[in-house]
Amino acid sequence: MTYLKGTFGHGLLFPIGTSLQLIVFSDADWAGYPNTRRLVTGWFMFLGDALISWKSKKHDRVSKSSIKSEYRVMSSVCSEIVWL
């Protein structure tokens, strides 16, 4: 309970009349690092105007195509949406 003490003002504020639409942005940078050719993916999720989740990851494998890279990040985003 010590963690919760003094955190009353923290949290997400959703004023009355604010849209609670879930908006997700994602991107994949295929072979963005010229030395290693590693894939970097990332996504952001907003509920209304509030950022509720995000992730950025440099993968340990080299992707052979940009389509495969985009598929990987979209798969990750869909899993997160289902979890939410």
pTM summary value: 0.67
- 2-24 residue pLDDT tens: 566 667 677 777 778 888 899 99
Question: Average of pLDDT values for 39-44?
Answer: 84
- Please list the alpha-helical segments (H only) found in the chain: 66-83
- 57-80 residue pLDDT tens: 887 777 677 777 788 788 888 888
Tell me the two tokens of residue 32.
Answer: 């963005």
